[in-house]
Structures are given as structure tokens and as C-alpha cells.
Amino acid sequence: MSTVIAEGVIHVTNDCKACDHCTSICPTGAISGMLGQKHHIDPRLCVNCGQCLINCPFGAISDASSVEMVRQALNDSTKIVVVQEAPAVRVALGEEFGLAPGTNVKNKMYAALRKLGFDRVYDTEFTADLTIMEEGTELIHRVFNALGVEGFESSGPLPQFTSCCPAWIKYAEDKYPHILPHISSAKSPQQMFGPVAKTYGAMKLNVDPEDMIVVSVMPCTAKKYECDRPEMIASGFKDVDYVITTRELAEMIKADGIDFLNLADEDADKFIGLSTGAATIFGATGGVMEAALRTAYEILSEEKLDKVEFEAVRGLAPVREATVEIPVKALGTKLPVHVCVVTGLKYVDSVIEDVLAGRSTYHFIEVMNCPGGCINGGGQPIRRDTY
């Protein structure tokens, strides 16, 4: 079944120069048009990843924007507007203010968001940690089920795919419906944050969730589509109201004349704002995998890792695989866990075909649409480096 949102987030504007570059960027073949012909995106095939947008030589592709709605909410004194920011935003936002790529501006970002008028500044990294708890536990259940351990019969099949990337989810729904039982049922960190904020968060703040507006700052255009999915209403309200991109946040900061580089460092707000290094690396390809391994290893082995870095899943190659031996205390044996990391949706097809054909020996597969992970998402600052 094809997913629900009809018009899509990403559109080719009239500035298209028909250079045909984008058709090679698009992982789904959603862009049609030949050299010399204005190009067009088919929203049914498009997964809203925005890779074409950041790679169009003429800036001729645009994404639907919610900045106006966010401004309205910020100006509405009856609303309590809370904000979450994805890990990848903090190492790229600075580029819009002249800093080098990779410079961490997390604490200035919190400060800038408060200056923009957000009532509470939280962090998507908190729900990234939550994702690891939920998705990691789900993985352990699936592994136990496959090993025949009693009490886990209702768990899904192996391998388990990650579910953080809405572009990947839509791609699987559109093209490989039979793979869906393999995808972790855990929501992405952004979509965990929404219902957590409007239930637990509202409770802690003692406010009516109806008056709460949840805004996300994301490196990603597919997140705009994700928050509009009709099933994202677990809190009883629309879980995440608006998504703005890293670029749009930078624009808002500039429009308000905030002197970003000279802001004093601030911290995120309490209860759903604290995060760990494991959540931080979600923004890089292999990061979800590494964070999951850190937790799964320590929980299953009941030992502390000397070294939390899993170099084997790092790197920028489109498909990487590794095997991690985890001594499982409960079973009394060593379990070799086979993992795979895919970055770039173009490379996922063969991995999926293997799983569907029963050839795959992996336990856990991370899939991120964007080459390099979310740090290179469709909502990030656009770079045209020439040397």
C-alpha cells in the first residue's frame, strides 16, 4: 500500500534548467524528464528525502515549509511551544554562520531557540536514547524467538531493520511490502518525542496537551512528511505539529537578527532533554547500529564495555557489515551478532532481496536514505565546496 500524503514535500520549481543531474541523485526513480526538458517529481514514488534538493545545481527544487505556522504558534501566548532538535542539526547549523562543517553548536542552538521564543527547549537525542531502549529490546526479543527461547513467540522475524528514517520506511511500504514485518515497530526518535512531550511532558509541565505545540528541527525533509502521517496521533493529538529544517532554523535566527556566534552557551530543559553520546551519533551512518550495540552488549552480557566505539560499523562505504560476539549471560553462550549498515537507499535493494529470498544471515540492518546519514540530509545547509 502506498502511503497517504498525496502531494509530497519536494517539488521542482520553474527554475529548473533541465540539466538532468537530479535523476542520478534520486534513489527511487521518482524524477522524470530528459536533458533539455523540465523535470518533474512523481509524489507517489518520491520518498521526500530531499537529496535532489541539496544537489540541484540551480536550487530549482524546493520543500514545503511550515515556518509561517511555527511563527504564528510562537506569537500565540495561549500556546506552549516546545522544540526538539535532531543530532545532525548541531554539527551543521554553524555552517550557515560561517563555521566549518562538523563544528558543534549544540549549546548555542539551545540558546537561539529560546531567543526565538520557544517555551521549552528539549532534544530529540533524548528520544534517540529511548529508541535504543525500545528498538534494542525488540531486537533482543526477535533474537530469542529465533533461538527458540520460550515466551518470545509473538516477536517478529529476523533480521530486524531500523525504522528511524521515514524515507526508507516509505520506500519499503511502496516497493517491498513483504519486508515490512522485518522493520522495527519502534517509531523514529522524532515521532517518539511527540507523544512523549504531549503526555509525560505535559504532565511534568502541568499543561493541557491541547495547548502544546511540538516543533522539530530536523536535518531532513522526509521528517516533514513523517509528522503528517495520519497514524501519528498516539498522544490523542497530532504528535508532532511542525517540522522545520536546519536551513529554515538558520533563516529564522537570521531574520530575528540574533547574533548566533556570540550567544552564551545554554543547556536543554529537564525531563526530556538529557542525552548521551550514543544518541548523538544517530546522525551519522552506522550510529544507530553502534548505539544499539553499546546497549545490547552491556544488557545481554551484564558486563561493562571497555571501549564503546565499534569501529567496524563506522565509515562511509554504502554497505558495511560486521560481526560482534556478545556473551549472553542468560543463555550462557557467546552469540555472534551479524549486522549490516546501509547508507544510500540505492544500495538497499540487494540487501532486501537477500532477506526475502532467505539468504540473509544478518540479525540487524540499519538503513539510512542519505549518503553518510542524516548529517547529509535534505534539510541540511547546502554546500558547494570547490577545494
Partner 1 sequence: MSIFKEKEGFTRRQFLKGSAILAVTVVVTGVFAKFGVDIYKASDDYIAERVQGLYTLDESMAIRRSHNNPEIAQIYQEFLSPGGVNPVSEKAHHLLHTRYGKDIPALIEELEHHDEDHAA
Partner 2 sequence: MSEIKGKVLKHDQQTRMMHWVHLICFIILGLTGIAFYWDINIISNIFGGPANASLVHRWTGVLFLTGPTIYILLNFERFSRFIDTISTFTKNDIAWLKTMGGYVPFIKVEHAPPQDKYNAGQKILGGLIIIGCLLIILTGFPMWLWRYTLPAAFLSMCYNIHFWTAIIMILLVGGHFFLAAIHPKSRVEFASMMMDGYVDAEITAHHNESWFNELQKVE
Q: Torsions phi, psi of 198, nearest 5?
A: -85, -5
- If the CB atoms of residues 145 and 380 are measured against ligand SF4, the closer one turns out to be 380
129/134 Cα distance (integer angstroms): 9
Name which of 216, 220, 218 is nearest 238 in CA terms: 216
Decide: 152 and 160 in contact? Cβ < 8 Å: no
Give me the 1-40 binding string for ligand HEM, x by CB under 6 A, dash otherwise. Answer: ----------------xx----------------xx----
Residue 262 CA to residue 108 CA, distance in Å, equals 8
Which residues neighbour 229 within 8 Å (Cβ) at sequence distance 6 or greater? Answer: 3, 4, 5
Rounded to the nearest whole angstrom, what is the least distance from the CB of residue 243 to partner 2 in the complex?
24
Shortest distance in whole angstroms from residue 293 CB to partner 1: 10
Question: Among candidates 65, 60, 16, which has minimal Cα distance to 37?
Answer: 16
Q: State which residue, 18 or 316, has the beta carbon closest to partner 1.
A: 316
Q: Which residue in 191, 216, 245, 369 binds partner 1 (CB under 8 A)? A: 191
Q: Between residue 48 and residue 67, which ones bind partner 2 under the rule CB under 8 A?
A: 55-58
Residue 344 near residue 291 (C-beta atoms within 8 A): no
Which of 284, 326, 328, 348 binds partner 1 (CB under 8 A)? It is 284
Q: Rounded to the nearest 10 degrees, how much is the dihedral formed by the CA atoms of 113, 222, 320, 132?
A: 60
Binding partner of residue 128 among ligand HEM, ligand SF4, partner 1, none, CB cut-off 5 to 8 Å per kind: partner 1
Give the interface segment with partner 1, choosing from 33-41, 205-213, 224-232, 322-330 (CB under 8 A): 224-232
The answer to the question of residue 203 lying near ligand HEM (CB under 6 A) is: no
Known active-site residue 164: yes
Query: Binding to partner 1 by residue 90, rule CB under 8 A?
Result: yes
Burial code (b: 16+ CB inside 10 Å, e: under 16) for 309-335 equals ebebbbeeebebbbebebebeeeeeeb
| Grid coordinates given for 378 | 535534505
184 is catalytic: yes
Give the span between the Cα atoms of 123 and 83, in whole angstroms.
7
172 near partner 1, rule: CB under 8 A: yes
Catalytic residue list contains 374: yes
96 is known as an active-site residue: no
Cβ contact 242:69 at 8 Å: yes
Under the rule (CB under 6 A), what is the footprint of ligand HEM?
A: 17-18, 35-36
Under the rule (CB under 8 A), what is the footprint of partner 2?
A: 17-21, 23-24, 34-38, 55-58, 384-386
Catalytic residues: 135, 138, 164, 184, 223, 226, 231, 374
Under the rule (CB under 6 A), what is the footprint of ligand SF4?
A: 10, 12, 16-22, 25-26, 28, 30-31, 39, 41, 46-52, 56-58, 60-61, 165, 167, 219-220, 222-223, 368-370, 373-374, 377
